[in-house]
Amino acid sequence: MENLENTSHDLSNENSGGEKKHNKVSHSRHNRGHLIFLFLGVMIMSSFFGSIFGFIASGFGNKFFGGLEQRFPVFFHNQLNSNSPSVAKENPAVSREKIVEEDSAVIDVVKKASPAVVSIVISKDISKLQNNIFDPFGLFDNGSGLPDNSGSGSANQNQNNSTQNGTQKEKIGGGTGFIITEDGMIVTNKHVVSDTTADYTVVTNDGKEYPAKVLARDPVNDMAVIKIEGSNFPVLNFGDSNSLNIGQTVIAIGNSLGEFSNTVSKGIISGLKRNLTAGGGFGDSEKLTNIIQTDAAINPGNSGGPLLNIEGQVVGINVAMAQGAQNVGFALPISQVEKMINQIKATGKISIPYLGVRYIPIDASLQKQINLPFNYGVLVLRGQNITDFAVIPGSPADKAGIMENDVILEINGTKIDDKNSLTDLVSNANVGDEVTLKVWHKGSVKEIKVKLEERKN
């Protein structure tokens, strides 16, 4: 530009007649320089501010559209995949990831829980002559179509066809349990260890065998605690069975068929608060109330094993399966028996409070049949045998003056009905507690105080 200015000056001195023309040319060149400066300035400023606004906009846009994408994933998925059909399809990679996550959770539960799950072997001195006719599978299979106790499952039976005199030790059944204390306390079903003349051996997950002693059998629930000697055993923790939801994932581990130890099955909670009667092979039966139904496979031999939630906590004790059905199993809610388990931990025994009456529940049909003013409560009534007293002599109910044909309506202000049975309400109390009964006696309602005592058998 310095040369241009000098040249222009030289031309003006040489030819004054060309001054006008020279001024036009010089002015044109000068304007062109300003335009170039202006153009370059605009470009530089545009690039500068464009970069700034682009940076800001990109961050804001990502946040804004990212938020929209989270709120409307189907719309954005379809827009970004124009070749895909209008109906949104889940990304296969995401779907596989979900499956892997769920499988990983189950695998973790099994790895952590399995060392604390044990097999229980039931053996007994059997006459060699009886071995010819002994049917180990008949021990629990009643074939009645009712839900059956699942404590059967003895396998590899060494039946002896010899007719010689004498006895020999035979394995007659198997069940499952799980360790709850580091010094070897194990929870199982009462029906697994119900035979007082049998011997029980615990086989841990690593194959070690321990003789077991029965500490206590719960006379109300199908639960028992046995003990092996040792220390530093792995244990399982309890969850809250009261907070279970239908459809929730659960895992069962047990000694299936008495042969396949620590067999794992997975399912869901199919139902809650079920009531049923479980029968054994010798015509015995027991009523199970408020129990868990699951479609996780519970086979013979699984009795006493844990039903676990996805956190690996025990929410139930596997107890029975339905005969003639598929994937219909049952478990005792752990919250229902936790009190008894804690008693055994503390004292080595179970102390069950009892009232001492025989009764039948009152419903609308019974109310109409015998013209009662109430459709709830229990009617105190004797049994079929002459020794089946309505009120057991010397019992707390007898001492409090309860009589046959009385109707017990409430305990401590809670109505006795299909949701709150008399047995459950009494079991929730402690030995030595004084409870208040509301009783309909000979046409009038009165309150009676009763001090609960320990059940002896």
Annotated catalytic residue: which of 150, 152, 191, 265?
A: 191
Annotated catalytic residue: which of 222, 261, 270, 398?
A: 222
Annotated catalytic residue: which of 119, 150, 265, 303?
A: 303
What does each C-alpha distance from 1 to 12, 26, 410 come to in angstroms?
17, 11, 111
Alpha helices by DSSP H, listed for 167-297, are none
Query: In this structure, are residues 397 and 450 in contact, taking their beta carbons and an 8 Å threshold?
Result: yes
Q: Are strands 148-149 and 314-321 parallel, antiparallel or unpaired?
A: antiparallel
- Residue type for position 354: Y
What does each C-alpha distance from 219 to 108, 157, 194, 335 come to in angstroms?
35, 30, 11, 17
C-alpha 218: how far from its chain's center?
A: 22
Alpha-carbon span 275 to 143, nearest angstrom: 20
- Residue type for position 317: I
Residue 9 annotated among the catalytic residues of the structure: no
- Residue type for position 330: F
Residues contacting residue 70 through CB under 8 Å, at least 6 positions apart: none
Q: Which residues pair with 334 in a beta bridge?
A: none
The two structure tokens encoding residue 457: 């058998």
Residue 303 annotated among the catalytic residues of the structure: yes
Residue 284 annotated among the catalytic residues of the structure: no
315-342: b or e for each residue (b if 16 or more CB lie within 10 Å)?
bbbbbbbbeeeebbbbbbbbbbbbebbe
Query: In this structure, are residues 130 and 284 in contact, taking their beta carbons and an 8 Å threshold?
Result: no
Query: In this structure, are residues 379 and 360 in contact, taking their beta carbons and an 8 Å threshold?
Result: yes
Q: Is the dihedral of CA 93, 96, 102, 106 positive or negative?
A: negative
Which among 336, 340, 288 has a CA at the least distance from the CA of 315? 336
List residues with catalytic annotation: 191, 222, 303
